[in-house]
């Protein structure tokens, strides 16, 4: 009996390895193609297409990026500013809101929590939202247009942090501090925040990645190319391969005919994903944890 | 009497700082979520940017009449619903399968590598995914045309001009990007199942396969139901990035790629037709609302304790 069991167990193990290995390869292969193609020679790429193992290599595409750094570097800077400012603001606002919601005795807390849950299920759609941000708040072509709409706060992260405060920070600690004369904000600053580093790291990484990857807000609220983020720049190049050339020739730049267009766009994509790949190991660790923490029903 | 007053004072002193700290977040939800909800009345107005949302004149159902008359309404509703239906099935089945397989892997390092790599595409923006897809699908330089079809002597396929391939491409791309997320959700649920069940089962001589079908799957039921309600409630919404970026918003592909969300975007930003866009958004919100209530009521009937509200 036990012999049969272990045999079946072994077959399961082998099958699992084969399937998962195949899926892992599938997950990575497109990136390989992107990177290999970005290093291939332009004429070769035009003649032979993008290949996994290009026979003629060249750094043209990356040299081009360096030459165009005024535009691309600016987009990089905008993305970094938006990501850092947005993530920091988000963490402060979320933790303060969740701190209140975590108080079981706070009058109105339940109603407010329900109102926040409702935002996860229903929304008014993009048209009214666009008009509100555009016409009431005039976010168009300001950096706030990239930071504020939709990304700053969402119901899911509020629920996650509130559940964490309730389940992982003992109420006795804040009671003890209160008896010693500490105020609400002092407790928040010196007890709650330090103890909630794991959850703040998790949602901080999630927020940072969604800011870094966002192109939606740019699409709706930014038309000024000085405020383009990396993703929006990629999007513009997607729509119009000569975007960079047109833009720089207006400024008295390069000849559009000499562009390594076939490989340059891929090289810009590579540059845009590098930072995500760099933070990915941290992200992966905290992300799985965060989902598990959020699974605590409350 | 005096004591009660003092107690009240302390209570206020305790409450007020919390409310103050909650203000920024609540104001945000008010502006970002609740004001647009009130703004869905725009669907019944002749939108005039200079007069604003509430100042614009009413024009009854005219926006809806234009929307239905445009001939695109049927296409976008059909596409949205069909894609969502297929995605729900694939995400659930593949997500659970991969999570179970991953749970079978005992070697820690291998387990971690698989998990990390399979989740990687989830981290990419749709713009980047559209570049990755383009590297394969492009007519002039794409790998499928130049690396496979040409070498085999087959005729090349102009993917960005042929709507019939897109249901398969979009399904593949969607699963490629999202399977890692679905896997993590179910894996978290599997890890939470008590080890005692499995030990008791193997003492009784249950095989691995029996343990999966009799313990793991039944224990996943609440997670599956929750994910199902969330997906069904979004049945009328589509992943804008997938349908907008990956087909490069190519008009010739609309028969198989246009969803309500891409229509709303194009009507609002490209055709400058906010009325029709708002009408489509209104229908989306109303149907979404009905679906959430309906799906929850259904679950309530089947197993009460799994309902969300």
pLDDT for A137-162, tens place per residue? Answer: 999 999 999 999 999 999 989 998 99
- State which of A18-22, A179-183, A205-209, A260-264 shows the largest mean pLDDT: A18-22
pLDDT at B23 over 60: yes
pLDDT tens, position by position, A47-73:
888 999 999 999 988 988 888 888 889
**Paired tokens of A35:** 């990177």
User: Residue A251's pLDDT is what?
Assistant: 46
- The residue written with tokens 């992982």 in the block is A168
Distance, in angstroms, between B65 CA and closest chain A CA?
18
Answer whether A103's CB lies under 8 Å from B18's CB.
yes
What pLDDT band is residue B13 in, cutting at 50, 70 and 90?
confident
Please give the CATH topology (third level) of the domain spanning A68-294.
Answer: MetI-like fold (1.10.3720)
pLDDT tens, position by position, A236-273:
888 776 666 666 544 444 455 556 677 888 999 999 99
The rounded distance, in Å, linking the Cα atoms of A75 and A272 is 10
A96 Cβ contact list (under 8 Å, min separation 6): A188, B21, B22, B24, B25
User: Residue A23's pLDDT is what?
Assistant: 96
- As a whole number, mean pLDDT of residues A71-93 equals 95
pLDDT at B25 over 90: yes
Q: Do B147 and A265 touch (CB under 8 A)?
A: no
User: Residue A285's pLDDT is what?
Assistant: 73
Q: Do B31 and A137 touch (CB under 8 A)?
A: yes
Q: Delimit the domains of chain A by residue range.
A: 2-38, 68-294
The rounded distance, in Å, linking the Cα atoms of B289 and B84 is 16
Q: Do A126 and B141 touch (CB under 8 A)?
A: no
Q: Do A135 and B34 touch (CB under 8 A)?
A: no
From residue A74, give the alpha-carbon distance in Å to each of A59, A246, B5, B124, B167: 22, 17, 60, 21, 37
Nearest-by-CA chain B residue for A214: B125
- Beta bridge partner(s), residue B45: B58
Altogether, the residues listed in chain A come to a count of: 298
- As a whole number, mean pLDDT of residues A192-198 equals 90
Answer whether B129's CB lies under 8 Å from B177's CB.
yes
What pLDDT band is residue A298 in, cutting at 50, 70 and 90?
very low
What pLDDT band is residue A1 in, cutting at 50, 70 and 90?
very low
CA count, 13 A, side-chain hemisphere, B95:
28
- As a whole number, mean pLDDT of residues A180-202 equals 90
- As a whole number, mean pLDDT of residues B183-206 equals 90
B21, B131, B145: residue with CB nearest A266: B131
pLDDT at A292 over 70: no
Answer whether B115's CB lies under 8 Å from B298's CB.
no
φ/ψ of A57, rounded to 5, equals -100, 155
pLDDT tens, position by position, B42-98:
889 888 877 777 788 888 889 899 888 888 899 999 999 999 999 999 999 999 999
The rounded distance, in Å, linking the Cα atoms of B201 and B210 is 9
Nearest-by-CA chain B residue for A285: B116
Q: Do A49 and B117 touch (CB under 8 A)?
A: no
Distance, in angstroms, between A184 CA and closest chain B CA?
6
The rounded distance, in Å, linking the Cα atoms of B201 and A97 is 45
Answer whether A140's CB lies under 8 Å from B49's CB.
no
- Alpha-helical regions (H) of A49-170: 60-67, 69-101, 109-121, 126-131, 144-147, 155-168
Q: Which of B172, B184, B140 is nearest to B159 (CA)?
A: B140
Q: Which of B180, B128, B140 is nearest to A31 (CA)?
A: B128
Q: Delimit the domains of chain B by residue range.
A: 62-306
- Beta bridge partner(s), residue B252: none
User: Residue B233's pLDDT is what?
Assistant: 80
**Paired tokens of A28:** 């990575």
Which residues from B are below 8 Å from A272, CB to CB? 125, 127-128
Mean pLDDT of chain A: 86
Distance, in angstroms, between A36 CA and closest chain B CA?
11
ipTM for this model: 0.88
The rounded distance, in Å, linking the Cα atoms of B9 and B300 is 44
User: Residue B131's pLDDT is what?
Assistant: 93
pTM for the whole thing? 0.89
Q: Do A97 and B21 touch (CB under 8 A)?
A: yes
Answer whether B274's CB lies under 8 Å from B267's CB.
yes
End-to-end CA distance of chain A: 44
- The residue written with tokens 């799957």 in the block is B217
Q: Which of A124, A94, A76, A140 is nearest to A268 (CA)?
A: A76
CATH number of B62-306: 1.10.3720.10
**Paired tokens of B224:** 């599956």
């Amino acid at each position: 009996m036990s012999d049969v069991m272990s045999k079946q167990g072994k077959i399961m193990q082998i099958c699992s390895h084969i399937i998962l290995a195949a899926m892992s390869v599938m997950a990575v292969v497109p990136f390989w193609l992107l990177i290999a193609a970005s290093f291939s020679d332009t004429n070769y790429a035009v003649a032979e297409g993008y290949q996994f193992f290009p026979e003629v290599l060249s750094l043209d595409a990356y040299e081009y990026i360096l030459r165009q750094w005024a535009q691309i570097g600016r987009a990089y800077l905008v993305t970094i500013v938006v990501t850092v400012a947005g993530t920091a603001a988000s963490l402060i606002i979320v933790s303060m809101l969740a701190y209140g919601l975590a108080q079981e005795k706070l009058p109105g807390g339940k109603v407010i929590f329900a109102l926040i849950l409702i935002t996860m299920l229903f929304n008014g759609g993009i048209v009214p939202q666009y008009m509100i941000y555009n016409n009431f708040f005039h976010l168009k072509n300001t950096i706030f247009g990239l930071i504020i709409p939709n990304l700053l706060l969402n119901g899911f992260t509020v629920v996650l942090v509130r559940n964490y405060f309730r389940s992982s920070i003992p109420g006795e600690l804040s009671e003890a501090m209160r008896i010693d004369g500490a105020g609400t904000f002092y407790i928040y600053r010196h007890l709650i925040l330090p103890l909630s580093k794991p959850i703040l790291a998790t949602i901080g990484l999630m927020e940072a990645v969604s800011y870094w990857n966002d192109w939606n807000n740019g699409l709706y609220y930014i038309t000024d190319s000085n405020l383009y983020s990396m993703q929006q720049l990629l999007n513009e190049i997607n729509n119009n391969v000569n975007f960079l050339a047109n833009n720089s020739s207006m400024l008295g730049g390069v000849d559009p005919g000499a562009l390594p267009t076939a490989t340059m766009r891929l090289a810009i994509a590579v540059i845009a994903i590098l930072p995500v790949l760099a933070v990915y190991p941290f992200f992966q660790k905290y992300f799985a944890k965060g989902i598990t923490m959020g699974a605590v029903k409350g | 009497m005096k004591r009660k007053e003092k107690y009240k004072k302390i209570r206020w002193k305790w409450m007020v700082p919390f409310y103050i700290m909650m203000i920024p977040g609540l104001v945000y939800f008010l502006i970002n979520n609740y004001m647009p909800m009130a703004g869905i009345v725009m669907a019944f107005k002749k939108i005039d940017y200079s007069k604003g949302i509430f100042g614009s004149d009413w024009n009854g159902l005219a926006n809806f009449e234009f929307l239905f008359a445009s001939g695109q309404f049927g296409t976008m509703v059909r596409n949205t619903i069909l894609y969502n239906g297929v995605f729900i099935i694939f995400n659930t089945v593949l997500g659970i399968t991969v999570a179970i397989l991953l749970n079978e892997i005992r070697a820690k390092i291998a387990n971690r590598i698989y998990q990390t790599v399979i989740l990687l595409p989830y981290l990419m923006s749709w713009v980047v995914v559209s570049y990755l897809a383009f590297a394969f699908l492009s007519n002039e330089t794409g790998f499928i045309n130049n690396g496979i079809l040409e070498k085999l002597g087959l005729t090349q396929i102009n993917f960005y001009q042929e709507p019939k391939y897109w249901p398969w491409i979009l399904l593949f791309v969607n699963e490629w990007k999202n399977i890692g997320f679905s896997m993590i959700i179910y894996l978290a649920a599997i890890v939470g199942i008590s080890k005692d069940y499995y030990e008791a089962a193997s003492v009784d001589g249950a095989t691995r396969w029996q343990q999966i079908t009799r313990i793991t799957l039944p224990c996943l039921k609440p997670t599956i139901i929750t994910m199902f309600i969330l997906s069904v409630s979004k049945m009328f919404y589509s992943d804008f990035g997938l349908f907008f970026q990956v087909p490069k918003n190519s008009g010739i592909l609309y028969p198989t790629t246009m969803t309500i969300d891409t229509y709303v975007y194009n009507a609002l930003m490209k055709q400058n037709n906010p009325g029709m866009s708002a009408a489509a958004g209104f229908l989306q919100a109303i149907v979404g609302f009905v679906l959430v209530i309906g799906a929850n009521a259904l679950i309530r009937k089947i197993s009460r304790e799994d309902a969300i509200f």
